[in-house]
Structure 1
Amino acid sequence: MQSVEELEQDIESLTREITSLCQKRDELKAQKFEKECSELSNHPVVKEFESVFTKFPKLYEVLARENQIVDSNDNDTSDEPSTVDSSFVKRRKLEFSDGSVQNKMFDKSIADLLGDTSSSTSPGKRRSKLQNFKGLESQVSIENAYRLFGITFFPLVDPSDINFQRNDINRKMLGIRLEVFNEGLRQFEKPHYILLKQNLKLNSWSLFKHTIPAFIDLESIFQKIDNGIITTYDQVYLFAKQVYIQLLCVSQRVQIIEELQDIRLISNLEIDLQIAAVSFDIQGMKRVRLFLQDDQVISCDTFDDDELKMLLLGPVKELKLKLGRLLAS
């Protein structure tokens, strides 16, 4: 049996080991937190806001003043993140009253991130404040969870709409972020953005700017939503959903065609920008040109090979099976 002294030594050794493991755990947590904060600070939308604040310091004063109102009405000083309302991302509003701006688009639990009203505060200092905010990690996770659904909204301000005499904003703006997940690459593709601006006369939204590919008729989709008279956030979401579906269909067509080349059923693949015409070689000899519409191959040019032409017509998703059987035979 071990003596008392030996037991005490074992206990001390275990205690030191546990302490060392706890320190390593805390270090890993700190590294993870710093990494996520760095990713947030390097996000193109965040950088764009910082460049606007640097160029228009008055804008930062206007937006910061509203947070004084939020702070004065919020007596909860707990470091724990508050319960996030379901409208955290999807329901964001800008309301004006008494000559001051009240930004309702941010959840209360992160409102104090903009609490520093000093117009001389540099972007670097504001970024440092973000990194020191204990509840930020939770809020970043929540935002990322919303973004997994592919359609999110964010607030923004056009500097030309700022009224410095009244210290308010003439027109509301709303940003739409569309992100399609590429199953082949197992990551999200480059996001697309649509900016809407309020029409003062009709109190409705209108298209301002966007990064949607030209082959998607954005204006036509917009006009199909209640004849282009979009006044509610439900209508905005319906419009965004229709655009997202078209982006998703284009992405899926590209993924299907590129997979054929990855598994070597075809070679020398050429795809046009609209993903409407696709050319490739079969068995390194037969050159084929397909014309696509939605999820169908509607026409096929096989250079006088009518049997192959009839084989390839039909759903795009069946090309893998058809070409596999063709090469196997």
Structure 2
Amino acid sequence: MQSAEELEQDIESLKREISSLSQKGDKLKAQKFEKECSELSNHPVVKEFESVFNKFPKLYEILAKENRIIETNDNNTSDEPSEADLSFVKRRKLETGDSTFEHRMFDKSIADLFVDASPSTSPSKRRNKLQNYKGLESQVSIENAYRLFGITFFPLVDPSDINFEDNNIDRKMLGIRLEVFNERLRQFEKPHYILLKQKVKSNSWSLFKHTIPIFVDLESIFQKIDGGIITTLNQVYLFAKQVYIQLLFVSQRMQLLERLQDVKLISNLEIDLQVAAVNFNIQEVKRVRLFLRDDQIISCSTSDSDDNLKVLLLGPVRELELKLSRLVSN
């Protein structure tokens, strides 16, 4: 039987081992986070936002000012953001890595409209509240402005989760709206929706229903966000952004190919739902088959086994129009 001194030594040894494992775990998490940030910094969508902010600095000032107002009201601090905040990628690090930052799904000025979800509140009372709410029209305009960025959230209630006995809602729900802007048509495409519901015995979110196309592996994307244990609104936002990027890639590929057909660079276009396997004719003579992934052409084959053309067409999708233009002109 161990003496008290030996037992105390074992406990201290165990504590040191736990501390060492915790430090190693924190180090691995930090390395993983830095890797994700590095990958995101080179992402076309991020670069596009950086380009927008560089061209329209006033837009960034307005958004940054709004964030400062929210943080001042909630945290009672007057600290100004550092110069590092001028980088879109560094601001992303703040949003995900700084524990003092909290992602907010709804603007504070309209959040009170969503709080009262009590099943005992009659529709007439809710209607009167909306009618008496001054400035509602301007707040709707703000919501529409947020929707221009493609990812918005809305509250909802599943009637089956209403507990009439204690006048409460058993499980919270959150709706995600994803809207991709089609530059070719100058309008937003049909929106996609994802509904999340909190689990009964925990505060983690789970996938409930969605309208995302089957070729987007929603479950896989969900599991990649901290192993599918999503409890914070920051994690929900990161999940929504990853899904949005997948939808954006598909739309951009479709837009490019349709434009190539409009300007007569290709003809007899055939594509699959994912816009991953593409067939078309060049100058009504040569048949080309491409395989696309994200924003890259990863494989090419031709009807006459033209190796030079295969090599030429591989690479970024956005360069395809220029390459075909030079090919046709020659």
- The Cα shift of 1:211 comes to 0.8
Distance 1:165 1:112, change over 3 A: closer
- Contact 2:114–2:155 (8 Å) recurs in 1: no
- Contact 1:92–1:155 (8 Å) recurs in 2: no
| 2: CA distance, partners of 1:120 / 1:150 | 30
Alignment of 1:150-169 (within 5 A): 150-169=150-169
| 1: CA distance, partners of 2:115 / 2:313 | 59
The DSSP-based 3-state class of the residue aligned with 2:265 is coil
Deviations 1:204-246 (A, max 9, x none): 0000011111111111111111111111101111111111111
| Larger relative contact order, structure 1 or 2 (CA cutoff 8 Å, min sep 6) | 1
Aligned to 2:104: 91
**Letter matched to residue 91 of structure 1:** R
Deviations 1:90-144 (A, max 9, x none): 6359xxxxxxxxxx99434x579999x8847599xx5x98678652220111101
- Contact 2:109–2:139 (8 Å) recurs in 1: no
| 2: CA distance, partners of 1:194 / 1:203 | 18
The DSSP-based 3-state class of the residue aligned with 2:152 is strand
- Contact 2:313–2:320 (8 Å) recurs in 1: yes
- Contact 1:91–1:105 (8 Å) recurs in 2: no
Distance 1:323 1:135, change over 3 A: same
**Letter matched to residue 208 of structure 1:** F
Query: Does 2:196 align with 1:183?
Result: no
| 1: CA distance, partners of 2:121 / 2:314 | 65
Distance 1:271 1:111, change over 3 A: closer
Alignment of 1:245-324 (within 5 A): 245-306=245-306, 307-324=308-325
The DSSP-based 3-state class of the residue aligned with 2:209 is strand
| 2: CA distance, partners of 1:204 / 1:316 | 38
When the two structures are superposed, what TM-score results if normalisation uses the length of structure 2? 0.63
Aligned to 1:328: 329
Q: Which structure has the greater CA radius of gyration?
A: 1
The DSSP-based 3-state class of the residue aligned with 2:257 is helix
Alignment of 1:40-55 (within 5 A): none
- Contact 2:286–2:304 (8 Å) recurs in 1: no
Query: Does 2:116 align with 1:107?
Result: no
Distance 1:327 1:155, change over 3 A: same
Alignment of 1:51-62 (within 5 A): none
- The Cα shift of 1:200 comes to 2.0
Structure 2: segments with no counterpart, 5+ residues: 1-68, 74-102
When the two structures are superposed, what TM-score results if normalisation uses the length of structure 1? 0.63
| 1: CA distance, partners of 2:181 / 2:195 | 21
**Letter matched to residue 313 of structure 1:** L
**Letter matched to residue 219 of structure 1:** E
**Identity among equivalent pairs (%):** 72
The DSSP-based 3-state class of the residue aligned with 1:237 is helix
Structure 1: segments with no counterpart, 5+ residues: 1-83, 94-103
The DSSP-based 3-state class of the residue aligned with 2:324 is helix
Between 282-291 and 300-309, the greater mean CA deviation after superposition: 300-309
**Number of residue-to-residue matches in the alignment:** 231
